[in-house]
Chains A and B, each alone.
Chain A
Amino acid sequence: MENHITLVGNYGIMLRETLTPYNDYLIKQLPVSTVFVDKKYKIVHASDKWIADFDFTKRAVLGKSLFELFNDISKSWKKDLHSTFKGKARLTGIENFYDTQKNEKWFEWINVPWYDEKENIIGVIIQTKDISKTIFDDIKLEKLETLLRDKSEISKIGSWEYDAVNDQLVWCKITKSIHEVPEDYEPDIQSGVNFYKEGYSRNTVAMAVDRAMTKGIAWSETLQLITAKGKEISVIAAGKPVFKDEKFLGLIGTFKDITDEVLTKARTEEQERIFSSIFNSSYQFTGILDIDGTFLEVNDTALQFSDLKQEDIINKKFWDAYWWPIPDMVKEGLKQVIAAAARGEFMRSEIVVLDKNKQPIPVDFSLKPIYNEDNRVVSLLAEGRMIIEMVEARQKLKISEQKFRALYELSPIAYILSDFETGEILDFNSSFETATAYSKEDMPNLRYADIIPDSSRHKLINFIKEVDSKGTYGPFEHIFVKRDGTSYPVLISGSLVGNKKGRKLLWSAAQDISEVKKKENQIRDEQKLLKTLIDNLPLNVYIKDLESRKILVNKSELVYCGFKDESEVLGKSDYNFYDEKSALMSREEDLDVINTLNPILGKETISIKKDGSLTTFMTSKIPLISPDGKASGLIGISMDISDLKKQEQELRDLINVTSIQNKQLINFAHIVSHNLRSHTANFSMLLEFLVEEKDANEQENIIKMLTEASDNLLETLDNLNEVVAISTNVNLDKKPVNLNDKITAAEKNIAAFLKKNNAKIINEIPDDTYIKVIPAYIDSIIMNFITNAVKYKDHSRDPVIKLTVSKNTKYTILSIEDNGLGIDLNKYGEKLFGMYKTFHDNSDARGIGLYITKNQVEAMNGKIMACSEVGKGTTFNIYFNDQA
Chain B
Amino acid sequence: MTKLKSIAIIDDDPITVFGIKRMLSTLNVSENINSYVNGKEAIDDFKRFIKNKEEVPEVIFLDINMPVMDGWQFLEEFITLHIAHKIRINILTSSIDPVDRENWKRYMTLTHHIIDYKNKPIQKKEIEEITKAA
- Interface set of A (CB-CB < 8 Å, partner B): 670, 673-675, 677-678, 680-682, 684-686, 689, 705, 708-709, 836-842, 845, 847
B 1-28 to A, binary, CB cutoff 8 A, 1 in contact else 0: 0000000000001011011001000000
B96 touches A682 (CB 8 A): no
What CA separation (Å) do A681 and B11 show in the bound complex? 14
What CA separation (Å) do A682 and B40 show in the bound complex? 24
A820 CB → nearest B CB, Å:
16
B96 touches A709 (CB 8 A): no
B 86-105 to A, binary, CB cutoff 8 A, 1 in contact else 0: 00000001111101000000
Chain B residues, Cβ within 8 Å of A681: 16, 94, 120-121
Q: List the count of A-B residue pairs having beta carbons below 8 Å apart.
A: 64
What CA separation (Å) do A841 and B44 show in the bound complex? 14
B94 touches A709 (CB 8 A): no
Chain A's closest residue to B97 (CB) is A670
Chain A residues, Cβ within 8 Å of B95: 670, 673-674, 677
Is B68 in the interface zone, CB < 8 Å from A? yes
A838 touches B68 (CB 8 A): yes
Chain A residues, Cβ within 8 Å of B99: 670
In chain B, positions 75-134 with a C-beta closer than 8 Å to chain A are: 93-97, 99, 119-122
Chain B residues, Cβ within 8 Å of A841: 38, 40, 67-68
Taking A674-B95, A709-B15 as contacts, is the C-beta distance between A682 and B22 under 8 angstroms? no
Is B65 in the interface zone, CB < 8 Å from A? yes
Chain B residues, Cβ within 8 Å of A689: 19, 22
Partner of A836 from the list B65, B119, B121 (CB cut-off 8 Å) is B65
Chain A's closest residue to B20 (CB) is A685
Chain A residues, Cβ within 8 Å of B97: 670, 673-674
Listed A/B pairs (24) with beta-carbon separation below 8 Å? A670-B97, A670-B99, A674-B95, A675-B94, A677-B96, A677-B119, A678-B16, A678-B94, A681-B94, A681-B120, A681-B121, A682-B19, A685-B19, A685-B120, A685-B122, A689-B19, A689-B22, A709-B15, A836-B65, A837-B67, A838-B68, A839-B67, A841-B40, A847-B67
A598 CB → nearest B CB, Å:
48
B5 CB → nearest A CB, Å:
26
Chain B residues, Cβ within 8 Å of A705: 15, 18
B74 CB → nearest A CB, Å:
13
Chain A residues, Cβ within 8 Å of B119: 677
What CA separation (Å) do A847 and B97 show in the bound complex? 19
B115 CB → nearest A CB, Å:
20
What CA separation (Å) do A453 and B2 show in the bound complex? 131
Chain B's closest residue to A701 (CB) is B18
How many interface residues does chain B have, given as a range?
A: 20 to 34
Partner of A682 from the list B13, B65, B67 (CB cut-off 8 Å) is B13
A686 touches B15 (CB 8 A): yes
Chain B's closest residue to A683 (CB) is B121
Chain B's closest residue to A676 (CB) is B94
B94 touches A674 (CB 8 A): yes
Taking A674-B96, A677-B96 as contacts, is the C-beta distance between A682 and B68 under 8 angstroms? no
Partner of B15 from the list A673, A685, A836, A847 (CB cut-off 8 Å) is A685
What CA separation (Å) do A836 and B65 show in the bound complex? 8
What CA separation (Å) do A682 and B119 show in the bound complex? 12
What CA separation (Å) do A674 and B96 show in the bound complex? 7
Taking A681-B94, A682-B121 as contacts, is the C-beta distance between A708 and B15 under 8 angstroms? yes
Chain A residues, Cβ within 8 Å of B22: 689
Chain B residues, Cβ within 8 Å of A847: 67
Chain B at the A interface: SS class: loop
A684 touches B121 (CB 8 A): yes
A683 CB → nearest B CB, Å:
8
Q: Which 9 A-B pairs have the closest CB atoms?
A: A838-B67, A681-B120, A681-B121, A677-B94, A678-B94, A670-B97, A682-B15, A685-B19, A674-B95
What CA separation (Å) do A840 and B69 show in the bound complex? 9
Taking A678-B13, A705-B18 as contacts, is the C-beta distance between A670 and B96 under 8 angstroms? yes
What CA separation (Å) do A678 and B94 show in the bound complex? 5
Chain B residues, Cβ within 8 Å of A839: 67-68
What CA separation (Å) do A675 and B64 show in the bound complex? 12
Among B67, B96, B122, residue most surrounded by chain A Cβ atoms (within 10 Å): B67
Taking A705-B15, A708-B15, A709-B15 as contacts, is the C-beta distance between A678 and B120 under 8 angstroms? yes
Given contacts A673-B95, A689-B22, A837-B67, 19 further A-B contacts (CB under 8 A): A670-B97, A670-B99, A677-B96, A678-B16, A681-B16, A681-B94, A682-B13, A682-B15, A682-B16, A682-B19, A682-B120, A682-B121, A685-B15, A685-B16, A685-B19, A686-B15, A708-B15, A836-B65, A839-B68
B 24-55 to A, binary, CB cutoff 8 A, 1 in contact else 0: 00000000000000101000000000000000
What CA separation (Å) do A675 and B97 show in the bound complex? 12
Chain A residues, Cβ within 8 Å of B19: 682, 685-686, 689
B121 touches A685 (CB 8 A): yes
What CA separation (Å) do A680 and B96 show in the bound complex? 14
Chain A's closest residue to B38 (CB) is A841
What CA separation (Å) do A475 and B87 show in the bound complex? 109
Among B40, B96, B121, residue most surrounded by chain A Cβ atoms (within 10 Å): B121
Chain B's closest residue to A846 (CB) is B67
B89 CB → nearest A CB, Å:
19
Taking A678-B13, A685-B15 as contacts, is the C-beta distance between A673 and B120 under 8 angstroms? no
Chain A's closest residue to B41 (CB) is A841
Chain B residues, Cβ within 8 Å of A686: 15, 19
Chain B residues, Cβ within 8 Å of A674: 65, 93-97
A232 CB → nearest B CB, Å:
126
What CA separation (Å) do A884 and B105 show in the bound complex? 45
Chain A residues, Cβ within 8 Å of B67: 837-842, 845, 847
Partner of A840 from the list B13, B68, B93, B120 (CB cut-off 8 Å) is B68
A485 CB → nearest B CB, Å:
99
Chain B residues, Cβ within 8 Å of A673: 95-97
What CA separation (Å) do A705 and B19 show in the bound complex? 11
What CA separation (Å) do A147 and B130 show in the bound complex? 165
A830 CB → nearest B CB, Å:
12
Chain A residues, Cβ within 8 Å of B96: 670, 673-674, 677
Chain A residues, Cβ within 8 Å of B18: 705
What CA separation (Å) do A674 and B68 show in the bound complex? 18
Chain B residues, Cβ within 8 Å of A670: 95-97, 99
Chain B's closest residue to A684 (CB) is B121
B39 CB → nearest A CB, Å:
12
A677 touches B68 (CB 8 A): no
Chain B residues, Cβ within 8 Å of A675: 94
Chain B residues, Cβ within 8 Å of A678: 13, 16, 94, 120
A832 CB → nearest B CB, Å:
13
A511 CB → nearest B CB, Å:
90
What CA separation (Å) do A135 and B8 show in the bound complex? 164
A442 CB → nearest B CB, Å:
108
What CA separation (Å) do A281 and B15 show in the bound complex? 152
What CA separation (Å) do A675 and B68 show in the bound complex? 18
What CA separation (Å) do A685 and B120 show in the bound complex? 9
B124 CB → nearest A CB, Å:
8
B 57-76 to A, binary, CB cutoff 8 A, 1 in contact else 0: 00000000101100000000
Chain B residues, Cβ within 8 Å of A836: 65
B129 CB → nearest A CB, Å:
17
A406 CB → nearest B CB, Å:
103
A123 CB → nearest B CB, Å:
154
What CA separation (Å) do A677 and B120 show in the bound complex? 8
Chain A residues, Cβ within 8 Å of B93: 674
Chain A residues, Cβ within 8 Å of B40: 841
Chain B's closest residue to A827 (CB) is B73
Chain A residues, Cβ within 8 Å of B16: 678, 681-682, 685
What CA separation (Å) do A685 and B13 show in the bound complex? 13
Chain A residues, Cβ within 8 Å of B121: 680-682, 684-685
B12 CB → nearest A CB, Å:
9
A113 CB → nearest B CB, Å:
146
B1 CB → nearest A CB, Å:
21
Chain B residues, Cβ within 8 Å of A684: 121
What CA separation (Å) do A681 and B13 show in the bound complex? 11
Chain B residues, Cβ within 8 Å of A708: 15
